[in-house]
Chain A
Amino acid sequence: MVTPAHPMDQLQQRVNADARLVWRGRWVDTTFLVEAGDAAWLVQVAAGRIAAVKRGPLVMPSWSFALRAPKDAWNTFWLPNPPPGFHDLLALVKYRALRIEGNVHPFMANLLYFKGVMAAPRPRESVAGGVQ
């Protein structure tokens, strides 16, 4: 039996295959942290392309900003059609599920890009990935 891939395992391929999304992030060169409960990933971005996604445990990670939410919140966010409140990163923030910490300048200056990056692993039939 094959274990389904974690959405974060698909992030790099999905983002890099989306030429318009990469274009939207063309000025982004940073590394950010994603935490889902006690699991963590370090995502390295170079000119809008995902250069690497490193899964934890991480030793002395260095990052500009962190996106931290409970595992269940991320799993609901990555559903094909997430319910209201879980359909957008800022919705998660509003309902106190997601904390955005650190130097948030690159995140806010490229908000549509990072919304697109984190929504990219949603299954293909998703309708919620388009605008975000």
Chain B
Amino acid sequence: MSAHFEPITGRYLRIDLLGKPHRVYVEEAGQGIPLLCLHTASSDTRQFRGLMNDARVLEHFRVIAFDLPWHGKSSPPAGWQNADYQLTSRDYVAMILTMMDALALDRPVVMGCSIGGRMALHLALDHPERFRAIIGLQAGAHVDPYYDLSWLHRPDVHGGEVSAGIVSGLMGPRSPEAERWETLWHYMQGGPGVFKGDLYFYTVDGDIRGRLADIDTTRCPLYLLSGEYDYSCTPEDTLDAARRINGAQATIMKGLGHFPMSEDPQRFMTYLLPILDRIHGASGVA
């Protein structure tokens, strides 16, 4: 393979989030309609490497992703050592909207996976006017905990290894081996307690079962894509959400699991590109 640069560029943004100075890592590629991508719990923007290297996407979309504070190459705020990290719905929404303002993103498409998929539902509910379209990957209103989250953060268990063990089976067994293990590597690199802190939003604070019917898809189209092997946000969870949201369009993706854009980018594209084509067509952008 000859050496070459990918079309992705990354920069650090100095910005106040939640009233504190932060250093946030932001990546982007392509041009056109802004497409803001939200990574899963404990991971980072590398999950969208396939999307950001796909010429079919980059022709009409400016793909933007940032590492949440505490994740990837974004630092936690000063003084982080004195408190537990715990993601809440209110903070997560505030950080996204603040980042959008700072990056001057005009009615982007937002696409989030897992906790980002749950957040997609929150944004569809509370801020539909800010977005051109919303895509929830592995999105459900709630998850039933099926293991004790305290195992994710204790000194006698390696946090990176147990996190990878927790998510390894969430991927489709036929997804390419190299992409699956790349996805696990990101989990192995998560900071102490960050996965657990994100799952506070996913399992407790971000539960919106009672509010789904209030989402108005006439204000912003909502697409839901979920992989069939996901037992965290199950296909049934996504289909149940779609039944409760008038106008939501849900598709179960064959062969894929909880990390579609990262575990098998090529297969994922067969489901995503038709949606992006519709959004592009509806935007009237040449």
The 8 A-B pairs with the shortest beta carbon distances in the complex, nearest first, are A88-B169, A111-B165, A128-B173, A94-B146, A94-B231, A91-B231, A112-B165, A109-B157
Question: Is residue A4 within 8 Å, beta carbon to beta carbon, of the partner chain?
Answer: no
**Residue in B144, B169, B177, B232 whose CB lies within 8 Å of A89:** B169
- B229, A131: Cβ atoms under 8 Å? no
Indicate with 1 or 0, residue by residue over B144-167, a CB within 8 angstroms of chain A CB atoms.
101100010000111001101110
- B146, A111: Cβ atoms under 8 Å? no
A115-B169 contact, Cβ under 8 Å, with A84-B229, A88-B231, A130-B180: yes
**Residue in B146, B151, B157, B173 whose CB lies within 8 Å of A130:** B173
A73 to B228, CA, bound (A): 19
- B165, A130: Cβ atoms under 8 Å? no
CB of B171 to closest CB in A, whole Å: 7
A131 to B180, CA, bound (A): 7
A88 to B229, CA, bound (A): 10
CB of A107 to closest CB in B, whole Å: 10
Indicate with 1 or 0, residue by residue over A20-47, a CB within 8 angstroms of chain B CB atoms.
0000000000000000000000000000
Known interface pairs A108-B157, A131-B181; 11 further A-B residue pairs with C-beta atoms within 8 A, sorted by A's residue number: A82-B173, A84-B228, A87-B229, A88-B170, A90-B169, A93-B147, A94-B146, A115-B168, A127-B174, A130-B180, A131-B173
Indicate with 1 or 0, residue by residue over A112-132, a CB within 8 angstroms of chain B CB atoms.
100100000000000110111
A61 to B171, CA, bound (A): 35
A59 to B99, CA, bound (A): 63
**Residue in B147, B157, B171, B228 whose CB lies within 8 Å of A131:** B171
CB of A40 to closest CB in B, whole Å: 24
A85 to B151, CA, bound (A): 22
Question: Is residue B184 within 8 Å, beta carbon to beta carbon, of the partner chain?
Answer: yes
Residues of B within 8 A of A127 (CB): 173-174
A112 to B169, CA, bound (A): 10
A94 to B147, CA, bound (A): 8
Find the B residue at minimum CB distance from A96: B146
- 24 residue pairs of the A-B complex, CB under 8 angstroms, read A82-B173, A84-B229, A84-B231, A84-B235, A85-B231, A88-B169, A88-B231, A90-B166, A90-B231, A91-B231, A94-B232, A105-B157, A108-B162, A108-B165, A109-B156, A109-B161, A111-B161, A112-B165, A112-B168, A128-B173, A130-B173, A131-B169, A131-B177, A132-B168
A111-B166 contact, Cβ under 8 Å, with A95-B231, A131-B177, A131-B184: yes
A109 to B155, CA, bound (A): 10
A residues contacting B by CB (< 8 A) are 81-82, 84-85, 87-91, 93-95, 105, 108-109, 111-112, 115, 127-128, 130-132
**Residue in B147, B158, B168, B177 whose CB lies within 8 Å of A88:** B168
- A112, B180: Cβ atoms under 8 Å? no
Interface centre among B162, B173, B228 (most CB of A within 10 A): B173
Find the B residue at minimum CB distance from A128: B173
CB of A19 to closest CB in B, whole Å: 17
CB of B85 to closest CB in A, whole Å: 21
CB of A18 to closest CB in B, whole Å: 15
A108 to B159, CA, bound (A): 10
Find the B residue at minimum CB distance from A113: B165
Residues of A within 8 A of B162 (CB): 108-109, 111
A109-B168 contact, Cβ under 8 Å, with A127-B173, A130-B177, A131-B184: no
- B151, A108: Cβ atoms under 8 Å? yes
A108 to B231, CA, bound (A): 18
Residues of B within 8 A of A95 (CB): 231
A132-B169 contact, Cβ under 8 Å, with A105-B156, A109-B162: yes
CB of A23 to closest CB in B, whole Å: 13
